[in-house]
Amino acid sequence: MGRYSTMKLAFTLVILACWSKLSLASNTPESPDLGESQFLCESNLLSLNFSNAVITKIGQDFIGSQLITCLDLRKNQIEVIAPNAFSKLPKLKKLYLSNNKFSTARDIFTFGGHETLEILTANNAVRNAIYIDITIPGSYPNLEILFARENGFKDITATEKSPFPKLKILDLSGNRMTDTKFKNLLPSSLEHIYLNDNSFSTLKSLSKGSNVTTLILDNNRFTMIRDFSNNPNDIGLWLSAFHNLRHLSVAGNMISTIYSDFSGLNNLTYLNLSRNEISSLSSGAFQKLLQLETLDLSQNKIQEVIKMSSAINVTTLLLSCNKIQKVPANAFQQMPELRELSLKANLIEEVDVNSFAYLNYLETLDLSDNKLSSLPEGWTGAFNSLQILDLSENKFTSLESLSLSNTLPLVEVYLMANPLKYLDAGSFDNLPKNVTVDLAHRFHEGYPKC
């Protein structure tokens, strides 16, 4: 009786401690954040801040100075900018036009280029976005960063053949663009491209895309990824020219078919294909991605764990919110470097004793929100490094049904929303020493449901 009381008290304290311990943040890398706020006028630059000044028009030769390098015109009521409005600012490097009231997207660039400008931002600068083609007049021989989000561009051309020869970062997200003539304007210097939240169904590789390291294409209308095609009418996404690509995200599209083995993307470390229509993948789909570290296939229609034909070096694999029903033996044999594995929110009822064999380095395993009622004896045999195990929202009725070994290096086990019927002294005998059993939280507490 004494032993029972002691064990019960210790377990209660652990639960109370968990209330003050919010869930850990996911270590899944997100899109590189190169937002406008990172490039605002620095204190060491001579700048003029006219933001929120209720300016409605920028006339010709708006202001003149040999010293001004940064001009902030954000959050005004600007409807029109006259040609050569900034020609008397010969040292201007940064110009901010975001959040204004231009009549159409064509009015944003009417000042006609600038010789020294390095950064130009014009996000959400149009009063009412009317989806039209625009032509950018003039040249920007030193422009490195262009942000032009949410303005209603359908496509972009220019009066000059190469208006931005030094451009490194281009953000055209949120414009609902459908056409791709803008590709002809892009220089070989380009490193980061943001085209998310548009309406592209086809994008063929850029002829000068060899230096691009980041390509974000989330929330478009792509249905397939291709290596090549001889038919000019074929739709899809071609990636073969992006030889230095490291971060690729094509989440939230309608991709159901991948006709590509991603050959040529030898430097890719992050691939996000979540929120698509993928139901199956070939065993060799990712074999040529020799540097791949994170693969996100969550929120698709995958029914079976993908078996690779040869080993890959992925350290994070996200398969949450699919339709997987069981995890077969040696399912991840070709991914021995895995550190994080998420099978959350599938339909898993069965785990084989050898499902996770070869995963000696796995640190986090998420099996939450499935249909598991028990796990087989010995299923944790390969876990030399496992620290986090989330079994929340399953059908476990006792701690014994988890089949955990007391030699595991586990630090935290999450069991929220399981129909546990009893906890007695013997329930804790096979749990790892000093493990925290959390009945109140999930590991990724803030994650939305599928």
User: What is the reported pLDDT for 33?
Assistant: 59
Amino acid at 403: S
Asked if 97 and 117 count as a contact pair (C-beta separation under 8 A), the reply is: no
Per residue in 80-91, pLDDT (tens digit) is 999 999 999 999
Q: Distance from first CA to last CA of the chain, Å, rounded?
A: 45
Q: How far apart (Å, rounded) are the C-alpha atoms in residues 326 and 364?
A: 19
Instruction: Assign 273 a pLDDT band (cuts: 50, 70, 90).
Output: very high
pLDDT mean over 246-269? 94
pLDDT of residue 417: 95
**Confidence band of 32 (pLDDT split at 50, 70, 90):** low
Kindly indicate the confidence band of residue 244, based on its pLDDT and cuts at 50, 70 and 90.
very high
Give every strand in the sheet of 202-203, ordered side by side.
202-203, 236-238, 224-226, 257-258
The conformational region for residue 190 under phi > 0 = left, psi -120 to 50 = alpha, else beta, is beta
- Number of CB atoms found within 10 A of residue 282's CB: 13
- Across 399-437, b (16+ Cβ under 10 Å) vs e yields bebbbbeeebebebbbbbebeeeebeeebbeebbeebeb
How sure is the predictor about 398, in pLDDT bands with cuts at 50, 70 and 90? very high
Most confident of 11-25, 59-73, 162-176: 162-176
The residue among 95, 67, 93, 69 whose CA lies nearest residue 81 is 95
Rounded to an integer, the average pLDDT of 15-27 is 29
Res 284: pLDDT: 86
As a residue count, the chain comes to: 450
For residue 412, pLDDT over 90 is answered with yes
- Kindly report, residue by residue over 315-356, the tens digit of the pLDDT: 999 999 999 999 999 999 999 999 999 999 999 999 999 999
d(CA 158, CA 181): 10
**DSSP annotation string for 153-190:** EEEEEESSSSS-TT--EEE-TTS-----GGGGG--TT-
Task: Check residue 43 and give its pLDDT.
Answer: 67
The model's pTM: 0.89
Cα separation, 252 vs 57, in Å, equals 39
Residue 355 pLDDT = 98
Share of residues in the chain with pLDDT > 70 (%):
90
Higher per-residue pLDDT: 174 or 37 = 174
Q: Is the pLDDT of residue 40 over 90?
A: no
Which of helix, strand or coil describes residue 11?
helix
Q: Is the pLDDT score of 54 beyond 70?
A: yes
pLDDT at residue 128 in the model: 85
Q: Show the domains of the chain with their CATH numbers.
A: 43-199 (3.80.10.10), 343-449 (3.80.10.10)
Q: State residue 254's pLDDT score.
A: 98
Residue 62 has what pLDDT?
A: 87
pLDDT score recorded for residue 34: 64
- pLDDT score of 134: 96
Residue with tokens 């060491």: 44
Confidence (pLDDT) at 203: 93
Mean pLDDT of 302-319: 93
Instruction: State how far the Cα of 294 lies from the Cα of 317, in Å rounded to an integer.
Output: 6
In angstroms, the CA 434 to CA 428 distance is 11
* Mean pLDDT in residue range 167-195: 96
Whether residue 5 is predicted with pLDDT greater than 60 in this model: the reply is: no
In this predicted structure, the answer to whether residue 205 has a pLDDT above a threshold of 80 is no
> Is residue 367 pLDDT above 60, yes or no?
yes
Question: What mean pLDDT, rounded, does the chain reach?
Answer: 88
Beta-carbon contacts of residue 392 (< 8 Å; ≥ 6 apart): 368, 369, 414, 415, 416, 417, 418, 441, 442, 443
* CA of residue 155 relative to chain centroid, distance: 25
Which residues, in sequence order, are bridge partners of residue 164? none
User: Exposed, middle or buried, 221 (CB in 10 Å: 0-12/13-18/19+)?
Assistant: middle
Kindly indicate the confidence band of residue 7, based on its pLDDT and cuts at 50, 70 and 90: very low
